[in-house]
């Protein structure tokens, strides 16, 4: 088993990627395999991940990301999205997925569907927040997988989602961007790579109620 603590110490929010270093496609696929295994509320996976390969678009995303060059320099750019609409059709799609994978009939999952319909009945704002929370779980998972695979990453909410959505035509895909995660390999010149990690001591943030 890999030493996960060592890997988590090694990772950092990469500020400067080496634009000449590319993640091999097979390795990237493995990363995506791990990403889709992320946990989510009810297993509903209210997310899609858009990989932006187009160089021009990635250049154009820099000013929309407060001039953070990671979006253009990293090997791959993952735009982590939530669905624009969470309705009965969305739930039915998930139920069908369960049926396909577990050889079940939709009638067997009627109780489960009823539970999932609570999400549909939420206000638009609450649905958006619920979906966003799930995307953040996927981000956490992605960062850990990257660390384990010795791939650098930078979690990013420093961008203007509405502008990025417009640029990438996400509306047509029924999506709204939540987070960006450029992944690749750090540049030797990135001063942030060797900074000591700043974390609260466990005595401050881990409480035991016995």
Ligand X SMILES: Cc1cc2nc3c(=O)[nH]c(=O)nc-3n(C[C@H](O)[C@H](O)[C@H](O)COP(=O)(O)O)c2cc1C
14 or 175: CB nearest ligand X: 14
- Binding-site ranges for ligand X (CB under 6 A): 12-13, 15, 68, 154-158, 197
Pick the closer one to ligand X by CB: 45 or 153. 153
Least distance CB 178 / ligand X (angstroms): 9
Do residues 193 and 15 make contact, with C-beta atoms less than 8 angstroms apart? no
Alpha-carbon gap, residue 53 to 40, rounded angstroms: 27
Residue 142 CB: number of other CB atoms within 10 A?
24
Question: To which residue do tokens 């820099």 refer?
Answer: 62
How is residue 5 written in tokens? 């603590």
Query: Do residues 192 and 14 lie in contact, with contact meaning Cβ atoms separated by under 8 Å?
Result: yes
Closest to ligand X by CB, 113 or 163: 163
CB of 12 to ligand X, least distance (A): 3
Which residue is closest to ligand X by CB? Answer: 158
We find the least distance from the C-beta atom of residue 102 to ligand X, in angstroms, to be 33
Of the pair 15, 163, the CB lying nearest ligand X is at 15
**Phi then psi dihedrals of residue 39, to 5 deg:** -80, 150
Least Cβ distance, residue 197 to ligand X (angstroms): 5
Non-local (6+) Cβ contacts of 137 within 8 A are 38, 39, 40
């Amino acid at each position: 088993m890999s030493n996960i603590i060592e890997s988590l110490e090694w990772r950092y929010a990469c500020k400067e990627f080496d634009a000449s270093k590319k993640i091999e496609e097979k390795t990237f696929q493995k990363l995506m395999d791990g990403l889709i295994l992320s946990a989510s509320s009810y297993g509903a996976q209210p997310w899609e991940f858009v990989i932006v390969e187009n160089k021009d678009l990635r250049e154009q995303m820099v000013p929309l990301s407060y001039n953070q060059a990671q979006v253009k320099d990293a090997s791959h750019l993952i735009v982590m999205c939530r669905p624009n609409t969470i309705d009965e059709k969305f739930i039915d799609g998930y139920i069908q997925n369960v049926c396909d994978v577990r050889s079940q009939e939709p009638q067997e999952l009627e109780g489960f569907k009823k539970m999932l319909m609570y999400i549909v009945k939420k206000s638009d704002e609450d649905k958006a927040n619920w979906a966003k929370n799930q995307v953040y779980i996927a981000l956490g998972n992605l960062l850990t997988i990257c660390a384990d695979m010795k791939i650098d990453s930078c979690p990013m909410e420093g961008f203007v989602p509405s502008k990025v959505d417009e640029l990438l035509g996400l509306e047509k895909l029924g999506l709204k961007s939540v987070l960006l995660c450029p992944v690749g390999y750090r540049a030797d010149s990135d001063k942030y790579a060797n900074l000591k990690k700043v974390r609260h001591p466990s005595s401050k943030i881990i409480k035991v109620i016995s």
